[in-house]
Chains A and B, each alone.
Chain A
């Protein structure tokens, strides 16, 4: 199943946004002075966003090859 270029572009942008947002959340959570246990939900959220972004970007790259 092939996606249209516009849809592929939208997904690529989406993936890039998730990577940036996820990374920013992880960095900001790490830099906040607090016990690690309170940072865990935020870190998991950031990591999950980052992973989803990477997954989407890899799918797009694979489809373009």
Chain B
């Protein structure tokens, strides 16, 4: 760790917030239509359930990213808490999410653009072949940009996030002011309530509106004094995203649209939320909603599609960037072959990782395109599987780290803990992590029960990864199910020093010396 090149810590509190927001804030643009299409009148309940689980996940990431401010995110936390093998599984599940992220958000970007009257030919339902080639071209373009090292700056992220928070708040404010009818919301829930299977499916899809918390860890590595700043910005981020997801789903069900709702394909009248959930509108639901707000809709019909497409493109780019970064981190810890660490001679970017994961994203696009009208849902299925699998392991890792690494100073602790002793040390057992684990595990079960493709493709992805891992570790004569020996205490001292958390570093060194008087911390 000490001899590796360090990232410059120049991200401000707003930069840290906007980095996360640029990733997670775009999710509602994708998830809203998908969830309404499946859960119908119970979409708001699906978002509420997933949102409560997300709060627990967010708190877990906040605590872990503040205590261990390194870019590996879930993969690093799980490896540190549960060992190399499970760390690999978590990282591999996150990689699935990042590659899906590339395809899903590029698809959504084209979907939002197709809502513009002049770009209607980009619609996936009416022109699937053109849509496929445009999405593929976007993925190839993002791969090229990442290879030559062009990445949106934190300042650009901050600018887009500020406009996004303002725009989403404006849509909600005007939507609730002009179009929201509580009696219509109740009516939609009463008449459109789904069966249990559909509700479980909707809840599992709703979790995708909260995916992207890895960005909290990515930002933590580049934030100075992360132990103080990360909790502050993360909690604001968690609350904003949660409220937006709940608000959009309730507004969609209780909205009296400005324009008459067209009849469905069979010629029957349909409610507005049913119109939003059709395969034609799933990939541009927020734009359709915004354009149905009286007066504001005239402007929103042009502005929201362009803005949504920009946000989704940034999110797609974060998939390319994030996958290469996670693969790089996994390679550093000997979980993946060192080829993933190889950087381009001229551009100094992880070219192998970028190419491999963009090719995987393109393969996923081909599979999605083969699903016809259900391609978008197919991508959502896989996205939900990857998120649920990695978050499940993160909760177990959080509990394990509280027990096995009680000395690392934690400036932020998830609330509601039970004080107890474990192996002679005083620890705080996190009740919220247990609740979160039950919630996210339930969502993982929902994914496996209700997603016909996710239940096969998701575990197949993990199985493929385990084979890659086993071949690599056996060839390198490294342990397969146990871990490579590492000195986590010294690493942690170095991490805190790099983060500028010198008081916390001194506190940790003091505790380590009290436990072992021979301990010497050699930091660079």
Report Cα–Cα, A24/B48, bound state, in Å.
20
Contact with B along A32-59 (1 / 0, CB 8 A): 1110001101101100110010010000
Per DSSP, chain A at the interface is helix
Verify A39–B243 contact, CB threshold 8 A.
no
| Nearest A-chain residue to B186, judged by Cβ | A34
Verify B173–A44 contact, CB threshold 8 A.
no
Verify B48–A32 contact, CB threshold 8 A.
no
Contact with A along B352-387 (1 / 0, CB 8 A): 000000000000000000000000000000000000
Report Cα–Cα, A26/B387, bound state, in Å.
33
Interface size on A, residues (CB 8 A): 22
Per DSSP, chain B at the interface is helix
Verify A48–B243 contact, CB threshold 8 A.
yes
Question: Which B residues are CB-close (under 8 A) to A49?
Answer: 243, 247
Task: Take A24-B176, A25-B176, A52-B239 as given contacts and tell me if A41 and B48 are in contact as well, using a CB distance cutoff of 8 Å.
Answer: yes
Most central of A29, A42, A44, A49 by chain B CB within 10 Å: A42
Q: Does A17 contact B (CB under 8 A)?
A: yes
Question: Which B residues are CB-close (under 8 A) to A39?
Answer: 186
Most central of A24, A25, A38, A41 by chain B CB within 10 Å: A41
Question: Which A residues are CB-close (under 8 A) to B185?
Answer: 32, 42
Interface size on B, residues (CB 8 A): 24
Question: Which A residues are CB-close (under 8 A) to B190?
Answer: 34, 38
Verify B246–A32 contact, CB threshold 8 A.
no
Question: Which B residues are CB-close (under 8 A) to A38?
Answer: 186, 189-190
Verify B246–A44 contact, CB threshold 8 A.
yes
Question: Which B residues are CB-close (under 8 A) to A29?
Answer: 182
Question: Which B residues are CB-close (under 8 A) to A24?
Answer: 176
Question: Which B residues are CB-close (under 8 A) to A55?
Answer: 239
Q: Does B392 contact A (CB under 8 A)?
A: no
Report Cα–Cα, A28/B185, bound state, in Å.
11
Verify B186–A41 contact, CB threshold 8 A.
no
Nearest 4 A/B pairs, CB to CB: A41-B44, A34-B186, A32-B182, A45-B246
Binding site for A on B (CB under 8 A): 13, 44-45, 48, 169, 172-173, 176, 180, 182-183, 185-186, 189-190, 239-240, 242-243, 246-247, 249-250, 254
Q: What are 11 sample pairs from A and B whose C-beta atoms fall under 8 A apart? A: A14-B169, A25-B180, A34-B183, A34-B186, A38-B189, A38-B190, A45-B44, A45-B250, A48-B242, A48-B243, A48-B246
Given contacts A38-B189, A48-B243, 10 further A-B contacts (CB under 8 A): A21-B173, A25-B176, A28-B180, A29-B182, A34-B183, A38-B190, A45-B246, A45-B247, A48-B239, A49-B243
